[in-house]
Amino acid sequence: MSCGVQEKLAEEERLARQEVDADYMAPFLAMLGDPDVDQLSHEQAYKLRELCLIDYKQQLVDRAELMHARFEKVISQPTPRKAKKQQ
């Protein structure tokens, strides 16, 4: 491989690693006014924890509702067994 190709591959790998290192707390910290993470007070840390838990619980509820809707759709579809009983 040429030196230019190696440099390009190294740059792509570096960019891919940056994408993986996303800050999952950023939206929650933004809700608190973007405080310095190293200087969070006890109250701020507790509020951050509560915001994360509320969001996580909502994600679980949304996922359960989606699963329930899919389940209802599947069981409402006619099956060969149901079709025979109706005849």
For CA atoms 15, 16, 20, 26, the dihedral sign is positive
Residue 78: per-residue pLDDT? 83
Average pLDDT over residues 33-47: 90
| Cα end-to-end span (Å), the chain | 70
Residue 48: per-residue pLDDT? 92
Residue 19: per-residue pLDDT? 60
Three-state DSSP at 31 gives: helix
Query: Would you say how long the chain is, in residues?
Result: 87
pTM: 0.60
